[in-house]
Structure 1
């Protein structure tokens, strides 16, 4: 699943581009990437992820989230939100009541599921950048990989 850096998509209201790194060749069930949302607002961040998810990775059809990563509105009594509204339309979301895995499971076309580790939005910019850079041992400034290294691509 090759993705390429794309810094042209800026979110509205002064937001920075989506901060996402994907592993090109993640096997089913393996961690497929890391995502650093800008806030704990599920609607805003999930819509940003959907709207700027690399097309080469697939069209986002559904999201499953870990409740501790988001504000109470996403985890309210009765199951919380069931969908978010992205620029391309409504996308179903769900969660498990006691899930504390800090994952966002992105289901793309064909039912393929990509596990993204969610970096806490409240950490310092230096810590977040370090976590993005350190993901899978690949330098965040490079979209290539050294011999024998697992290749990732970044959108930051």
Structure 2
């Protein structure tokens, strides 16, 4: 995972995440554990529907319920939207698991680049 530096203006993409598989139930707890504590407790996650294998509508992660949703739009890059009530929203580019390491590094670096870059 790579996160963009905080800036004065909101960003469309706040960083990138390169999961190991397309199994959201297995990958999501790892992602949430790696997020900055300042983001607060993620309560809702929305993913690009075509990117992931089937998943439940909610799951227990670190002793709290996370609601899962799927977007139905198929244009644009695959993303994951993380919502923490009272804290904010963050959108991460999802680098497909089958991406080569070199290509994944380029995509993640571009997604996390400072807004002026």
Query: Which runs of structure 1 show a deviation greater than 6 angstroms over 4 or more consecutive aligned residues?
Result: none
Query: Does the 8 A contact of 1:51 with 1:88 survive in 2?
Result: no
Over alpha carbons, which structure has the higher Rg?
1
Greater Cα offset, 103-112 or 34-43: 103-112
Distance 1:26 1:115, change over 3 A: farther
Q: Higher relative contact order by CA 8 Å / sep ≥ 6: 1 or 2?
A: 2
Is there any run of 5+ residues in structure 1 with no aligned partner, and where?
Answer: 1-18, 75-80, 139-147, 151-156
Is there any run of 5+ residues in structure 2 with no aligned partner, and where?
Answer: none
Query: Does the 8 A contact of 1:53 with 1:60 survive in 2?
Result: no
Distance 1:130 1:105, change over 3 A: same
Using the alignment, how far apart are the partners of 2:113 and 2:88 within structure 1? 25
Match of 1:52 among 25, 34, 53: 34
RMSD of aligned alpha carbons: 2.4
Please give the TM-score of this superposition, normalised by the length of structure 2.
Answer: 0.80
Given the alignment of the two structures, is residue 107 of structure 1 paired with residue 89 of structure 2, yes or no? no
Q: Aligned pairs, how many?
A: 115
1:59-116 deviations in Å (ceiling 9; x for gaps): 2111011111112x23xxxxxx2112322332111113x2234111100131622111
Aligned pairs for 1:13-24 within 5 A: 19-24=1-6
Please give the TM-score of this superposition, normalised by the length of structure 1.
Answer: 0.62
The structural deviation recorded for 1:47 is: 1.4
Using the alignment, how far apart are the partners of 1:69 and 1:134 within structure 2? 20
